[in-house]
Structures are given as C-alpha cells and as structure tokens.
C-alpha cells in the first residue's frame, strides 16, 4: 500500500509528525548541535564551511558541504566580494522567521500562497570602532516587515513566525564562550576540550 | 607624489583612518542601516537578496547583489539544498569575530599570520516545536574556539574579537519589531511606513 504524504506549504507533514513523535518519546531526540568552521583569507575576507550537525541522536552530514564568504564594502577596507557579517545576521533572521511561519502554518493546516519580507537593522559604527563607550557595538534595533498572501490573519501569522530560533536568540541574547588558542598550544586542534 | 597605503593583515589602514576621522568629525557618518530582502520559495527553502545599505551619510549599492539561500535537512522536512537559518547565524558570528579581530589587530600594528575558528551552538528543538514552554526556542549556548598564529597573546586577541557587532548583538539581545502585512493591505509594498 502506498504511503500518502500530506503536504502543506511544501512541508511534508508526515516528516514533521515523525520528528515530533520521536521528541515526545525521547527528549534527547530534540537535542541539536550546529557547527561552522571559518578560515580567514585576507583583510575582511573569510570563508565558512558547514559540513555536519548533531540531531536526532546521531551525527549527520549535509549532502554537500556548504561554503559562505563574508567581506566588507570599501569604506570598511574590504573588497565587497560577499555580504558582510551583519548582513549575514539579518539573512539568518529573515530565513528563520520565514521558515518558522511556513512550517508552523503547515502543521495547523494554514496555507500560505506567497511570502516575502524586508529586514532593516541599525548600527552606529562608533561602537565597533571603540570611539564611544556608551554606543552599543551591535545592532540598536531591527525591523522585520512581512508581505503575506494567506487566508490567515496577520496576528496569527506573526505568532507563528515568533517560534523562530534566530528571532528568539536575538531577542533574549545567548551565552557565548569565546576562546583563543595560540601557537603555544600547537596541535591544539586535536586537544580541543569536549564541550 | 604617490600615496603610500600602509596595510596590516590585508587591511588598508588609510581607509580605516579616513573612516574613523569622518566619524569623529560628524557622528552621523557612523550611522549605518543594513538590509536584506527574503523571498519564500517552497517548504523550508527561501532566498535572500542583499543589494543596498546606508553608511557614510549616503545610500550605497553593493557592486553586485548577493544572494543567500536557506533550507533544512530532511529530518526537518527540507531538501538540504542550503545551510539552515541557525547555521547562517553561526556563520555571521564566525565571520564577524574574525573580521573584528583582524581589523582591530591591524590598527594596533598586531600582525596575524593565520586564523581560523570553530563554532558550536546547542538548540533543543522542543522549544521551536512548542512542546515544552520552559525550553528556549533559540540557542542555549554557543562556543567559539579560535586557532591563531600571531605574536600577540591570546587574551589580547580575544579582547579584539569582542568588538564584533554580531557577538555583541547576540550577547545583549536586540529589540525586533516584527510586522505582518496581508493581502488586505494590497499594494502595501508602496505604502510601507518609513522606519
């Protein structure tokens, strides 16, 4: 007998149901670790490789490793060869609120016909350059504006986007353990402490 | 007479000095707005375009528009065609702490020969799926480990990376104004309120 895959918004609901069921039966199934590796190239230019992640109680490899570059525009001494790091941050937010709205709509039977969003974020570079201690180094505020074509009302769609992991990370902040290992610890790559 | 461009770590110091001088003379020169536009494609797949930004008291266009895709792996009902949104977040952090360390080292005359970093971030998907209200929807914690080849000590290099805008945005959190405009406001693209 053929399996019927119910799909809404292009989301295969049987996959989502399987995943949710597995998490309900065993909370460890929900524990994920995402990872990136970055290699500095020159000046403002660096390259990130994304190959593996831990999810569903196992190590997983992407079907192909992904590569993302970052650079800066000329006024920040770059060559404008790729988005800059804070544009990458806004991209993370844009894609995350979008996917979250679409997926949570799907499991509720809400169809979305079209969806796009614009994001703007303000930064005062005096913070980054250390010119003013009371100016934040990061984004001062971010505005997300969706244009949605759906029968659902705007408040409902907004509440679904708010499940987004990036949105919640940015709203609440997160602990970051930042370490620098130098040449004095040669071979430190092998000795990297377990998290 | 030829202009001598002093460069450290591939950063043209005359450009940085010009930018800093302009900000000191006029704080408005430091005000930046970065922007992305995202178009949902299907399922977990969406595409971000990055074309323009405001900086240095003027509108600026990237020399070519940048495009970034996001998708999800199969266990999250995607086709694994691109990094997922939270991997994009870690990429933003990786590239931002790297660029910040390199640029701030350059203006201090600190040479960096080689630099790479690994980032790991933990998420419990029960938050995203709304299965447990006390489980955060975003990252629970993030670890950044640099391998640096430089004469400078690790503590100094760490303090330079900490100027990073993405790092500070993630540490402190940021206000996000999230709005959904539906078909009831047809043509809303033209009527979008000024920020």
pLDDT digit string, tens, across residues A45-66: 999 999 999 999 999 999 999 9
Judge contact between B73 and B81, C-beta under 8 A.
no
> Are B64 and B100 within one domain?
no
CA distance A134 to chain B (A): 13
Query: Of the candidates A23, A54, A73, which is a domain's last residue?
Result: A73
- Is there a contact between A46 and B99 if contact means CB atoms under 8 Å apart? yes
CA distance B14 to chain A (A): 9
Partners of residue A147 in chain B, C-beta under 8 Å: 181, 188-189
- Average confidence (pLDDT) over B102-128: 97
Chain A contact present for B65, CB below 8 A:
no
> Are A68 and A98 within one domain?
no
**Nearest CB to A166: which of B16, B89, B119?**
B89
> Are B51 and B105 within one domain?
no
Specify if A49 maps to a domain. yes
> Are B96 and B147 within one domain?
yes
Partners of residue A138 in chain B, C-beta under 8 Å: 165-172, 174
Q: Which residues 106-135 in chain A show a CB within 8 A of chain B? A: 112, 114-131, 135
- Average confidence (pLDDT) over A6-27: 95
- For tokens 């079209």, what's the residue? A114
Specify if A194 maps to a domain. no
Domain that holds residue A145: 83-172
> Are A67 and A97 within one domain?
no
Specify if B194 maps to a domain. no
Q: Which ipTM was obtained for this model?
A: 0.93
Specify if A22 maps to a domain. yes
The string of pLDDT tens digits covering residues A68-121 is 999 999 999 999 999 999 999 999 999 999 999 999 999 999 999 999 999 999
Which candidate in A26, A33, A40 is best for mutational testing of the B interface (most B CBs within 10 A)? A40
Specify if A1 maps to a domain. no
Residue B100 in this model has a pLDDT that exceeds 60: yes
CB pairs under 8 A between A and B: 498
> Are B57 and B89 within one domain?
no
- Is there a contact between A34 and B180 if contact means CB atoms under 8 Å apart? no
**Sorting pLDDT into bands at 50, 70 and 90, what band is B17?**
very high
State how many domains chain B has: 2
> Are B49 and B94 within one domain?
no
CA distance B52 to chain A (A): 10
> Are A59 and A96 within one domain?
no
Specify if B120 maps to a domain. yes
- CB burial of residue A34 (10 Å; 0-12, 13-18, 19+): buried
> Are B67 and B87 within one domain?
no
Residue A193 in this model has a pLDDT that exceeds 50: no
E strand map for chain B:
7-8, 11-12, 31-42, 45-55, 58-70, 112-124, 141-150, 175-181
Partners of residue A26 in chain B, C-beta under 8 Å: none
Specify if B182 maps to a domain. no
CATH number at residue A13: 3.30.300.20
Helix, coil or strand: residue B184: helix
pLDDT at B4: 62
DSSP H helices, A26-174, are 85-107, 125-128, 154-161, 165-172
Specify if B192 maps to a domain. no
Chain A contact present for B21, CB below 8 A:
no
Residue B127 belongs to what H/E stretch? helix B125-128
> Are B68 and B93 within one domain?
no
Query: Of the candidates A45, A73, A101, which is a domain's last residue?
Result: A73
> Are A69 and A103 within one domain?
no
Query: Of the candidates B73, B102, B128, which is a domain's last residue?
Result: B73
Judge contact between B138 and A108, C-beta under 8 A.
no
> Are A101 and A164 within one domain?
yes
Tokens of B31: 């005000």
């Amino acid at each position: 007998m053929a399996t019927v895959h119910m799909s809404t918004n292009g989301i295969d609901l049987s996959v989502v149901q399987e995943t949710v069921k597995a998490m309900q039966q065993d909370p460890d199934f929900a524990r994920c670790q995402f990872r990136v590796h970055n290699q500095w190239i020159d000046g403002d230019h660096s390259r990130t490789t994304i190959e593996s992640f831990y999810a569903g109680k196992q190590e997983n490899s992407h079907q192909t490793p992904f590569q993302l570059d970052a650079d800066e525009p000329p006024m920040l001494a770059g060559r404008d060869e790729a988005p800059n790091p804070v544009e990458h941050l806004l991209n993370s937010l844009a894609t995350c609120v979008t996917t979250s709205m679409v997926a949570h709509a799907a499991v509720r039977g809400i169809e979305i016909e079209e969806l796009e969003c614009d994001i703007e974020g303000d930064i005062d570079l005096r913070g980054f350059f250390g010119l003013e201690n009371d100016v934040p180094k990061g984004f001062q505020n971010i505005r997300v504006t969706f244009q949605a074509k759906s029968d659902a009302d705007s408040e409902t769609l907004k509440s679904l986007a708010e499940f987004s992991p990036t949105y919640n990370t940015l709203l609440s902040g997160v602990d970051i353990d930042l370490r620098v290992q130098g040449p004095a610890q040669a071979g430190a790559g092998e000795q990297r402490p377990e998290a």
